[in-house]
Amino acid sequence: MLRVTLATRLALIVIVALSAISIIIIAVFYRTSVRETESARPSPGRLAAIAEMVERSDPAMRRTFLAAVSSPQFVVRVEAAGAPAVLPPRIVRPQQARLDDIYSAALPGRDVTVWPTTAATHDRWFPRLARAMSNAVEFRIGLRTGETLVVDATTRLPVTSFGLPVGLGVGLFGTVVALLALLVMQRETRPLAQLAAAVDRVDLSTDPPPLPEARRSAPEIRAVIAAFNRLQTRLSEMMRARMTLIGGIAHDVRTFATRLRLRVEKIQDAAERQRAVADIDDMIRLLDDALLSSRVGAGQLSQEMVDFAALVRTEADDRRTQGGRVELSADDATRDVIVLGDRLALRRIVANIIDNAIKYGRVACLRLQLNNHMIVLTVDDEGPGIPADRRQAMLEPFNRLETSRNRATGGAGLGLAVVRSLVEAHDGTIALMAAPGGGTRVHIELPVFRPGA
């Protein structure tokens, strides 16, 4: 199989495109610089009219008439009767015979001969080439007066044997070649576009669909596609193995932590027992985050139809019951709105941002809205807010606004990262911004379930 590399193909495409452009420019030059009336051969009717006028003209005025109808490319003269003609040997080809018939039919009663000639040319550097390009033809027409009307016709146009300008055929050829070049370019770049689209939609939580092999493309493109398929397969397997490992470890350690908590309850010192219980609760919460993250990474979240507004109201009521300041306002359009997702994960999203608002901003002001098939939940607090340059970092794992790592002033820095993972696993978005009152606003958008969409 012929291996034409991508670089070679692109070079050929460029060369062909430049050739087509050059040919088009040449064709335009001919089109704009040559008069349309200037053709390779005069029409039979024109020669018949000239012959008739010469026969009827006064001999004294004939010279003036011949000068009037002549031009550098169309020289008309009259040879006296009986004058010897000095002509090269004439080889009658089928095309030549056809021209004789055409002009003889237009000049009945006259002896007509069409003679390809090596007429004199003004080009002294390339005379042979100039003669070939001039397409010189000599017409010898016998007049009724016994004289011979001689017409030397040449053209500045390089013409083919069919009388068509060479540029016309070349231009058409160039156009066809350019069209083929465009088709080839489109075919060569199609696998790259498919590769770019596949890279954008890579999802390592599921089995990645392989890109189809581009058998007719360049070897480099086939190699890139094969490498991409191998890469996304390895990444998916590695991600699944890591998440399974984390999930397994977190599950076992959580079991041990639960047993340890039961044993801690037997400590006699109440203060010491409370601190130990708080440490174990933090450890269990951290393991829960790890378990939830592993489920998200492994694509193991369940899906069910969840009344999101009702879920938010439930979480808000729970916080009020525990003494938290929670305010909730919801538009009527959000009533009975369904979100397709994991109920436990959605509860974790709402609970986490409400708890954060109460803990760091004293109050959680919740607002539910519907915006273009997206349900929007915003939670504002009255805290000091988050600097603009730290907001995006707060959504990354193990990032805390307070850097002392004191557990009493903040968690492990996984809460918002887990929330972000859960929101994105439901095809939603989350953003931190400044609240109108100066605190922090958490803005979450989740797609609304639409049957048949």
pLDDT score of 121:
47
pLDDT score of 377:
94
Residues 107/44, Cβ–Cβ less than 8 Å = yes
Task: List all residues 6 or more positions away from 38 whose beta carbon is below 8 Å from its beta carbon.
Answer: 73, 155, 156, 157
Residue 314: which pLDDT band, with cuts at 50, 70 and 90? very high
Q: What is the spatial distance between Cα 146 and Cα 297, in angstroms, rounded to a whole number?
A: 106
Core vs surface per residue 177-195: b (16+ CB within 10 A) or e: ebeebeeebeebeebeeeb
Residues 444/423, Cβ–Cβ less than 8 Å = yes
Mean pLDDT of the chain: 79
Q: What is the spatial distance between Cα 29 and Cα 68, in angstroms, rounded to a whole number?
A: 29
Contacts 24+ apart (CB under 8 A), 164-168: 165/30, 167/23, 167/26, 167/27, 167/29, 167/30, 168/27
Give the model confidence (pLDDT) of 81-110 as tens digits: 777 666 666 666 676 777 788 888 888 888
The pLDDT of residue 304 is above 70: yes
Q: What is the spatial distance between Cα 8 and Cα 193, in angstroms, rounded to a whole number?
A: 20
Task: List all residues 6 or more positions away from 303 whose beta carbon is below 8 Å from its beta carbon.
Answer: 340, 341, 342
Q: What is the spatial distance between Cα 414 and Cα 410, in angstroms, rounded to a whole number?
A: 10
Query: What pTM was estimated for this model as a whole?
Result: 0.50
Q: What is the spatial distance between Cα 265 and Cα 272, in angstroms, rounded to a whole number?
A: 10
pLDDT score of 35:
47
Q: Lowest mean pLDDT: which of 239-243, 396-400, 420-424?
A: 396-400
Q: What is the spatial distance between Cα 301 and Cα 248, in angstroms, rounded to a whole number?
A: 16
The percent of the chain in helix, strand and coil, each rounded to the nearest 5, is 55, 15, 30
Note the Cα 190 to chain centre separation in Å.
9
Q: What is the spatial distance between Cα 30 and Cα 32, in angstroms, rounded to a whole number?
A: 5
Q: What is the spatial distance between Cα 21 and Cα 16, in angstroms, rounded to a whole number?
A: 9
Residue 120: which pLDDT band, with cuts at 50, 70 and 90? very low
For residue 251, what are the CA distances in angstroms to 46, 256, 370?
104, 9, 38
Residue of 362 and 215 predicted with greater confidence: 362
Using the Cα atoms of residue 51, residue 57, residue 59 and residue 65 in order, give the sign of their dihedral: negative
Question: What single DSSP character describes residue 218?
Answer: -
| Nearest of 217, 147, 151 to residue 184 by alpha carbon | 217
| Nearest of 351, 331, 365, 335 to residue 440 by alpha carbon | 365
Phi, psi of 245 (to 5 degrees): -65, -45
Note the Cα 51 to chain centre separation in Å.
66
Give the model confidence (pLDDT) of 331-372 as tens digits: 988 888 899 988 888 998 999 999 989 988 889 999 999 988
